[in-house]
Structures are given as C-alpha cells and as structure tokens.
Amino acid sequence: MAADARVHRFGRTERVLHRAFAGCFLAMLATGLVLYLPFLAQIVSARPQVKAVHLVAAVGWVATMLLVPLLGDRRALRAARRQLERFDEDDLAWLRARGTDRRIPQGRFNAGQKVHAVAQAALTVLFLVSGTLLWLGERHTQLRLGGTIALHDVSMLVGGLFVAGHVFMAFAPETRAAREGMRHGTVPRSYARAHHAKWAATAVDPPVPPARPAAPRLAAAALVAVLALTGAALLVRDTLGPSARRPPSAAAAASASRPAGTSAGSGTGTAAARSPR
C-alpha cells in the first residue's frame, strides 16, 4: 500500500469531545491565570467579568462531558477509555525510555498520551470538587475549608503543564501528523506504522456510524442543556448582579480577614486575602 495512504484513527464523537473539552479547559485556564496572577489582574482589570467567564466555561466543561456521550457514539468512547486505561509491558518500557526508543511498539495511544489522559481525569475531579467548595465558601463561611484555594491553584498549574506538553508534541516535527487525526479523523499510514505500530497492524476502515440517539437520550440531553444554560445564567447574575457589588457584612468581613490558623475554614494568609474563585 502507498506510504501516503490514510488510516482511520478518530471518529466524529471523539473529535468533538476533544475540541469541546479543550476549548472549555483553555478558557478556564486563561481566566484562572488572570484571577491568580496579580500582574495579569492589573492588565485585565475587569475581575467580575473574568470570573463570570471562568464559571460559565466550567459549566460548559461539565455539560460537554455529559452531552457528547448522550448524543454521540458511546461505543467509540468506551473503546477509547479502555485503551487509555490499560498499560501493558510495551507502555512501561516506553515510559522508562521516555519515548525515545521508537522500536517499542505502541497502540492507538502511546504511553505518554495514556498518562496525560489519566492525569487529566484525576485533575477534573479535583477541579470540580475544589471549585465547587470555593463557590460555596463565598456564600457560607462555614464551608471555607483550609487548603481549598491551594488545591485549586495547584491543580490548575499541573493541568496547564500537561496541556503545554500535549500541545508541544502536537506541533513537534516528528509527531505533528497526529493533529490530522483530530482534524480529519485520519492519519498517514506511514505515521501510524512509525509511532503506533501495534495499532497500525490492526487498524480497520471507519466503523458504521451509530444510529440516531433514542428518544430517552435526546430527552436527557435536552434536560442537561437546559440545566447548563440556566446554571450559567444564574452564575453570571450572581457574579455581576447587584448582590455581587453589595458590601460584605461585618461578620463576613471579620471572617475573611481572620489570620491563618484561627479556625479550620480560615485558609492561609494570602489565600484568605484573595477572593476565592
């Protein structure tokens, strides 16, 4: 077969999930950095608006993880999940060699991509838990748990580093052909043989597209969409509305300014001084 022949790697559902997930994550990362870094906060002085975008992106992020499986090819997503979760001896050898030994055969996902996916899944849980606690802590001082801001910030920085490495590899000369898989669904067979030899040997033509989702899945997707839009609207109103500009009560102000270590929910010095995100 010709060296420039194409081989199917990703279906439409996988590509849509990747793009939507990445778009929401980058929006949260950009706005989170503005909220986190003082020099960026000075450049972009509209903190309430940035915070509103951050929260809306978070809602879109969660909605994406629910809507795409409901409306798309769940069989393809399950297959991708199984492949990402399983590490064999070749994967461990690839990690020990730090990806430098191209003689070690890899499947549809190499070991580095598997590590990235597992790490992002774990970080997703940390983002959701810490972000929810931060939002609740702004409304109820009893829910201001020490270390929540630090957990959210560290998760953001670690996730950003993983994404930076992922983007670097996507544009590196030897592996940039992988981007074609996310853009068009196919990659050159020569690339597949060089970087994913085990998968290239068994790669098949694109599967038959799944049937249209049944009525219950469509109804569930509609409900998720309505809840997501409603939640986003309420968060924007809560962040930008008159109540957000109302001065804090004396008790809330005293709690926010309490030195670190005086209570379980007071946080740390700089974290208590900085408004939770």
Give which of 57, 60, 61 is closest to 49, Cα–Cα: 57
CATH architecture of 10-204+219-273: Up-down Bundle (1.20)
Rounded CA-CA distance 50/44 in Å is 8
Token look-up 């109103």 returns 237
pLDDT at 27: 95
Contact between 85 and 118 under an 8 Å Cβ cutoff? The reply is: yes
Per-residue pLDDT of the chain (277 residues; tens, 9 = 90+): 445 688 999 999 999 999 999 999 999 999 999 998 889 988 988 899 999 999 999 999 999 999 999 999 999 999 999 999 999 999 999 999 887 777 899 999 999 999 999 999 999 999 999 999 999 988 888 878 888 999 999 999 999 999 999 999 989 888 888 999 999 999 999 999 999 999 998 887 776 777 788 899 999 999 999 999 999 999 999 999 776 655 544 444 444 444 444 433 333 333 333 444 4
Angle between helices 111-137 and 74-85 (to 10 degrees): 110
Rounded CA-CA distance 199/183 in Å is 19
Contact between 216 and 36 under an 8 Å Cβ cutoff? The reply is: no
pLDDT at 273: 39
What φ, ψ does residue 174 adopt, rounded to 5°? -75, -25
Domain ranges of the chain: 10-204+219-273
Close Cβ partners of 165 (under 8 Å, ≥ 6 residues apart): 116
Query: SS3 of 186, please?
Result: strand
Confirm whether pTM is higher than 0.75: yes
Instruction: Look up residue 41 and give its two tokens.
Output: 């906060």
Contact between 112 and 84 under an 8 Å Cβ cutoff? The reply is: no
